[in-house]
Structure 1
Amino acid sequence: MVGDDHDLNGAYANATPANLWGPTPVGAIFQPGNLGGIQNPTFNSHVHAYNTQWINLQPAAALAWSPKFGGFLGKILPDGKTVFRTGWSKRMYQEGAQNFWAYASNQGSFFFQQGQAVPDTTGAIGTYKPGSLSLGQPLPQYALFPTTWAPNLPESTLSFNSSFFAMNPNIRQPYVEQWNFGIERQLGAGTALEVRYVGNLGMHGWMSYNLNEVNIIENGFLTEFKNAQNNLAISQAAGKGNSFANQGLAGQVPLPIFAAAFGTTSGPLYNQFVTQLRSAASGGTGAVGTVANTLASTQSYICNMFGAKLAPCTQLGLGGAGTSYPINFWEANPFSTGNSVNYLDAVSHSNYHSLQVELRQRQWCGMQFNLNYTLSHSLVLGNVNGYQANVGGAGYITDRNFRLSYRPSPYDIRHIIHASGTYDLPFGKGKRFLNGNKLADEVAGGWTLGTIVVLQSGPPAQFSGGYATLNSQANSGVVFAPGVTAQTIQNAVAVARTGNPWVQTINPSLIAPNGGVSSSYYTPNVTPGVLAANQYIYGPHWFNADLSVNKSIPIRESIRMTIQGQFLNVFNHPAFSLGNIGATSLSFGQSTSLITTARRIELRANLEF
């Protein structure tokens, strides 16, 4: 049985799936005008975050076989010197308790009262006229939310102020299947060589995604954005300035969505978004997602479009004439308009495959060691332990296709060479040298050296375009120049000193005069409505060596003291992470962060009895 960490006081307060979707029916994302959902959605108090999963089978199986052959095979595989092993298991695990604070109680929104006062010209409660405050004057009246506590509260209580959180009440428990197959061969006394394949598959991992991804396609806004681009280009060519309004110039067209949001067909509001609307040749970003998200999150624009049809506009006194556009024009749940609607579900998965080669030497002449090499590949959909920043920037890219978020995991280290061992120095009692003198034994005997050495490739990083060309996620991807691929950039990864407070982790020949990546290699994607393909490279390889020195001192027959010195990163060798490879970064390839720590020396003593 696997159940939730529940609250017997019933203080968890979040939305059911139907309430989380609000006016839009569950699953009807990107369907503006489909208002068959709940028109006045609420948050509800409850004891349990999700239903108990009663049956959780966790089987395991393993097999080892040491073959006994005669004849020719018997000479190749002598008895007892070769072993075949295989195994498989399934193990459930529970996600972190922080999920309950975030998704079972809407980030604690109803455990305390929040308030705000923001600059605005509407005169609504919780706003003040910009420039009207002076030091020593009373603060304006705050807008409080929720105004009072109740077991069931309308979502409109938090409209314009907060994101919404909820989890699937029938969420499944994640599990990992692991399997392996290996061949071990004895090479001599105490020496063995093993070659094995190891893999795993993670299923039903918990991942949060935003049901309120801003819509630009089904509502026609992408087309209007392109029309606005054309209007702006015509206006600039005619010397009429940076307005994208329909000024009646030849080739210009009306912009009904902008007009509905702005409440006018002309004026200074049409002079904004110039950077997003300019053509690519003029340095435009094509960030239709940025513009759509602004229109969908600004109170005055929202209430101009929806007016009294959206209850929070009336409740907060924001006014707005309203138009014929449906309230789910931009987002599925307009009661969280401009904010995310985060739904936690068991939709993540991962996999790992590896070839492992290991050479082991048991104690021999005072020495033992282990040398292994791993070739591996690991992929994941979504997040792993909150890992986001270096690989994609978010748990997912778009609700339109989760597959686009299937990416290298943070554990996708392709090559690892690992060596460890100890060596008992041959001095003192019972050893080869200085074994007949008590003083020599006390000084030179009982010493052991140990080491761990690692050489491995770097972690993955994604090329980022930096612009929101589809939704609010600012990663449009990059466009490689003809003849350039991700492997071209990978081949240029190398650490070089610069004389500055950073190192360069990409060959400087790729850098433009402004410090960014040269356009002869790649540029940000600036095509509105388009995501470039996800591409990844791996950071610089790195080396680390640890050393230990141990001295064993017998005190009595049953009492012994061990003094140990550990020298972590003994050569103080820095290992740098990959610098920024974003297409818009002006510090391309520069790295100031380390994967390893500086040399650290630790001394300790143990008394054993």
Structure 2
Amino acid sequence: APIGAMNFANLFTGRAVGDFLLGLPSAFALTSFTVIDQSQRMYFSFLQDDYKVSPALTLNLGVRYEYSTPPIERENRLANFDPATGAKQFAKNGSRFGRTLIHPDRNNWAPRAGFSYSPQSGWVIRGAYGVFYSHAVRQGREGMLGFNPPFLVDNLLVANVFGPTAVASAALFRLADGYPQGLLDPNKLSPFVYRRAQDPNQRTPYVQQFNFGIQRELASNLLLDVAYVGNKGSKLPGLRNINAQAVITNPNGTQSAGPRPYTSFGDIQWMENRVASSYNSLQVRLEKRFSSGLSALASYTWGKTLTIGADHLSTSPGGPGIDIGVFSVPQNPNNLRAERGPAEFDITHRLAVSYIYELPWGRGRRRGQSWSQALNLLLGNWQVSGIHVVQGGLPLTAILGGNTVLNLGSDRVARPNLVGSPELPRSQRSVERWFNTDAFATLSPAPQAFGNAGVGIMRGPGLADFDFSVAKNINVDENRYFQFRTELFNAFNHPNFGPPDIRREATTFGQILSAGNARIVQFALKLYF
């Protein structure tokens, strides 16, 4: 079943709508795919018990076992690659491994342990440890083995010309003429074409989670919780191009890259257990339980999330991996230590405050119980609430936009060399120059090398968001009431800027080109019954 998309930019007429009216697309994508029908079985069992050592000490002990069979496809429409033989592998009838192309992982034991100790009234000490597995990859994440030729083929055509004089000669095609001829047909492909492959011995990724905290009741309805919270990710999935061109290490050579190991193939993205992560944080929480019309919660987190080697999915352009559509691949897959840095979602400091306050005036409240119906309708039974968040910025990684590394394939983008400190004093930061753009140099063409700029060595703008709401309840009877609400999002109209451009060669390098929403005010009338 084919699906596709066309993009109309201002390449030919100077206006995107003009290109569209003339039927001149700037890019055209057509994907021919087979709808796969995967299935698998999952088994989970656990044993848990609470053991009360004393009135003050309770232990929580347990163990969990998880097993998920490798996925199979109803008509065996799966394909993989065998690096040992350099040949294709297709799912086939027979043994279950023959149908799945992936070995099962039966070593998924997950112990759990925790304790709660109250040395005296108003004090509680807690701690816990547990192992948690993720079966997403072994469930065929992104249909890894089903998204290979001949079951899927991507066609992408891009026009690389500008200006009206190039319309006749350089347009991809005109809509009036139909789709271009000669696109790849998955039914006519050579069997030696691949995009994705998976280690058949890939293990189930897991995360160890641990925490230790102290809770103290400061006063009636007021609780303080201070905790250390951390986790460690192991055997996480990552991609490596096992058919990258060989690196030439001779600085006097005439080429920067040699031939591919498997000359009959292009890039082969190999998913394996190659990524690790860690998270450590101090978390402080102050909670005011509801009393006297007020409930409130304030939480502060000081944390750090580190990764070694990018995962194969990227969520932001400033992260440790370079987003190439579906995959995110390190600059040098043979040196993951150089990829160690803050995770693309890491936020060092975050403060969040929320509250609900019922104003004390009106019938049924502390004051105004004798108000007239008209006065109560106007001034009584109001409620004020808010959610306020202040946090630091996300990590940024400078890249050489559009330049592949050492001509080793189109799956990686280089990082530049670092020649100075990328940070600017807060007083010198602006939307025109958020970081020190002079701290990055482009790679010289000879000798070529991997850039030495680290991952996540800069930070983008932080966030300050203040949301308020004011609500008025109007009783109809005991079971029904109207509520009128006024809600303000970003009430102070504080600018929350997006990340700056991280492409070294771009004219907008270091500039911030986007921002979040301005103040939004909305009104609502609800009937509760």
Name 1:80's counterpart in structure 2: 121
* 8 Å Cα contact 1:464-1:477 kept in structure 2: yes
Q: How far 1:542 moved relative to its partner?
A: 2.2
Cα shift readout 1:554-592 (whole Å, capped 9, x = no counterpart): 322233443333322222322112312443332232112
Q: Percent of pairs identical after alignment?
A: 23
The equivalent of 2:449 in structure 1 is 529
Offset, 1:375: 0.8
1:370 to 291, 297, 316: 297
Aligned to 2:253: 224
1:585 partner amino acid = A
Q: Does 1:435 align with 2:501?
A: no
State the partner residue of 2:434: 506
Shift of 1:532: 1.2
Tell me if the contact between 1:425 and 1:447 (Cα under 8 Å) persists in the aligned partners: yes
8 Å CA contact 1:5–1:100 kept in 2: the answer is no
Residue 416 in 1 paired to residue 327 in 2? no
Q: Is the 8 A contact 2:148 2:195 kept in 1?
A: no
Q: Structure 1 CA distance, aligned partners of 2:179 and 2:464? A: 58
Structure with a larger share of its residues in strand = 2
Q: What residue is the counterpart of 1:573 in the other structure?
A: 494
Deviations 1:351-370 (A, max 9, x none): 11111122221223322211
Q: CA deviation at 1:96?
A: 6.7
Shift of the 550–215 alpha-carbon distance from structure 1 to 2, 3 Å rule, reads same
- d(CA) in 1 for partners of 2:331 and 2:393? 24
Amino acid at match of 2:80: A
Residue 457 of structure 1 corresponds to which residue in structure 2? 392
Q: CA offsets, 1:450-490, max 9 Å, x none?
A: 0011111100001335555544433243231xxx424xx24
State the 1:143 CA deviation: 7.9
Give the C-alpha shift of residue 420 in structure 1. 1.0
Q: Please name the residue that 1:171 is paired with.
A: 202
| CA deviation profile, 1:259-315 (whole Å, cap 9, x unmatched) | xxxxxxxxxxxxxxxxxxxxxxxxxxxxx4xxx4xxxxxxxxxxxxxxxxxxxxxxx
Q: Distance in 1 between matches of 2:157 and 2:222?
A: 73
CA 1:84–1:139 in 2, change beyond 3 Å: closer, same or farther? closer
Cα distance between partner residues in 2 of 1:575 and 1:138: 45
> Are 1:53 and 2:105 an aligned pair?
yes
Distance 2:350 2:473 in 1: 33
Q: Choose which of 542, 548, 555 in structure 1 pairs with 2:469.
A: 548
Task: Give the Cα–Cα distance (whole angstroms) in 1 for the partners of residues 287 and 185 of structure 2.
Answer: 64
Secondary structure of the residue that 2:491 maps to in structure 1? coil
1:56-135 alignment to 2 at 5 Å?
Answer: 56-67=108-119, 79-95=120-136, 99=140, 102-105=143-146, 107-111=147-151
Give the structure 1 partner of residue 329 of structure 2: 395
Aligned-pair distance for 1:101? Answer: 5.2
- Give the conservation status (yes or no) of the 8 Å contact 1:373–1:415: yes
2:12 matched residue in structure 1? none
Q: Distance in 1 between matches of 2:332 and 2:449?
A: 12
Higher share in helix: 1
Letter in 2 for 1:3: T
Inter-partner Cα distance in structure 2 for 1:359 and 1:101: 41
SS at match of 1:404: helix
Q: Secondary structure at the match of 1:558?
A: coil
1:235 corresponds to which residue? Answer: none
Q: Do 1:395 and 1:405's aligned partners in 2 also have CA atoms closer than 8 Å?
A: no
Report deviation, 1:104.
Answer: 0.6
Relative contact order, higher structure (CA 8 A, sep 6+): 1
Q: Rate the CA distance shift 1:460–1:137 in 2: closer, same or farther, 3 A.
A: closer
2:88 aligned partner: 42
The residue number in structure 2 matching 1:236 is none
Map 1:380-391; keep pairs closer than 5 Å.
380=307, 381-383=309-311, 385-387=313-315, 389-391=317-319
CA shift in 2, pair 1:554/1:93, >3 Å: farther
Question: Are the equivalent residues in 1 in contact too, given 2:216–2:223 (CA < 8 A)?
Answer: yes
Q: CA distance change for structure 1 residues 140 and 370 in 2, over 3 Å: closer, same or farther?
A: closer
Which AA in structure 1 matches 2:252? T
Match of residue 262 from structure 2: 333
The one-letter code sitting in structure 1 at the alignment partner of 2:244 is E
**1:579 partner SS:** coil
2:421 corresponds in structure 1 to: 485
SS of aligned partner of 2:338: helix
Aligned residues between the structures = 430
CA change 1:562–1:91 in 2 (3 A) is farther
Q: What amino acid is aligned across from residue 479 of structure 1 in structure 2?
A: L
Deviations 1:173-214 (A, max 9, x none): 222221111111121121122211111112222222211222
Q: Tell me the amino acid that sits aligned with residue 414 of structure 2.
A: N
Q: Find out whether 1:191 has 2:109 as its counterpart.
A: no
86 and 66 in structure 1: CA distance in 2 versus 1, 3 angstrom threshold: same
Deviation at 1:446, TM superposition (A): 2.0
Q: 1:560 to 1:533 in 2, by over 3 A?
A: same
Deviations 1:17-53 (A, max 9, x none): x2xx3xxxx4xxxxxxxxxx44xx2341343253333
1:407 positional shift: 2.3
Q: After superposition, give the CA deviation of every residue in 1:99-142 in whole Å (9 maximum; x if it has no partner).
A: 5555212x242236788999xxxxxxxxxxx99x9999999984
TM-score (norm 2): 0.72
Q: Alpha carbons of 1:533 and 1:504: their partners in 2 closer, same or farther (altered >3 Å)?
A: closer
Once the two structures are TM-superposed, the CA of residue 65 in structure 1 deviates from its matched residue by 1.1
Out of 583, 592, 597, the position equivalent to 2:517 is: 597
RMSD: 3.5
Letter in 2 for 1:111: F
Which has the higher Rg, Structure 1 or Structure 2?
1
Structure 1 residues without counterparts, runs of 5 or longer:
27-36, 68-78, 119-129, 226-256, 258-287, 293-328, 497-502, 511-516
Aligned to 1:123: none
Q: Structure 1 residue 345: deviation in Å?
A: 1.4
1:338-349 equivalences in 2 (<5 Å): 339-349=266-276
Compare 355-364 and 386-395 and name the one that shifted more: 386-395
Equivalent-residue separation in structure 2 for 1:430 and 1:116 (angstroms): 67
Mapped partners of 2:246, 2:405: distance in 1: 12
Question: Are the structure 2 counterparts of residues 460 and 117 from structure 1 closer, same or farther at C-alpha, using a change threshold of 3 Å?
Answer: closer
Q: Taking structure 1 as reference, are residues 99 and 494 closer, same or farther at Cα in structure 2, changes over 3 Å only?
A: farther
In the alignment, structure 2 segments of 5+ residues that lack a partner are 1-66, 93-98, 159-168, 323-327
Task: Report the secondary structure of 1:223's partner residue.
Answer: coil
